[in-house]
Amino acid sequence: MKSWTFNSLLLAIIVSSTGCELATHVENKAKQINRYENVALTLSKQNRELQSQIVSLKFEIQTLKSQNQFLQLELDKQSPSTMRVPASVPSFKVKKDLVEFDVYKWKANDLIAVAEKEFGKNSEKAAQYYHALSVYYPGHEKMDDKYLFKAGVSAYESGDHPEWVIQHMTALLEKYPASEFYRGAKLWIAMTHLKLGDEQAFFNTAEEFRKKYRNTPEWNILSGHYEKIVQKYKSL
């Protein structure tokens, strides 16, 4: 009887000891797994960041190549007759002059009246008359944010005067930061950069809209082009 009692106690002690060891083993194993999971999450995050940096670098490299090609084409096309004149000298060089200021000596109000009449109908004519006001009557009182916006839009829609778009829209951004046309001006500048092949400048503006103005009509226009560029450089 004593032998049986002793054996029972010994067995209980062994079982108890084994249970404690097992619990300790399981606890240590759980801690080890948690450490592995934390390391895996950290590595996954670092991998995503590296992938993002790679895409960004590929994008910048490709953009620089495009800019170099565009600048080379512009230099090849340039000749003494097309070189820029000093800013102080009125410059109104177009393929076909629809204003003929030297002939008609338009007054400022007449230029504005024709531009307003042609806006949305004849983009080239509207663009020329809007731009003529800035050339022949710089600083005129009616060159407000609405005038600058319409001048820029007409120039863009004409398809021939990207430098006018950037000139008028940039003036709007600088002079009228609280204007209702402010976001629109940024949009048309970005679209002009895209048209000129300057994807980096376009991408920078599109990124600003993605972060600040996602719920706007302007972002709806930019987003499609933005996603195409992102996918383009991801596939490189």
Provide the residue ranges of all domains of the chain, joining segments of one domain with +.
86-196
Tens of pLDDT along 18-64? 555 655 655 566 567 667 667 767 777 777 777 767 766 665 675 66
pTM of the model: 0.61
Three-state SS string over the chain comes to CHHHHHHHHHHHHHHHHHHHHHHHHHHHHHHHHHHHHHHHHHHHHHHHHHHHHHHHHHHHHHHHHHHHHHHHHHHHHCCHHHCCCCCCCCCCCCCCCCCCHHHHCCCHHHHHHHHHHHCCCCHHHHHHHHHHHHHHCCCCCCCCHHHHHHHHHHHHHHCCCHHHHHHHHHHHHHHCCCCCCHHHHHHHHHHHHHHHCCHHHHHHHHHHHHHHCCCCHHHHHHHHHHHHHHHHHHCC
* Higher pLDDT, residue 54 or 146: 146
- CATH for 86-196, options being 1.10.150.120, 3.40.640.10, 1.25.40.10, 3.90.1150.10: 1.25.40.10
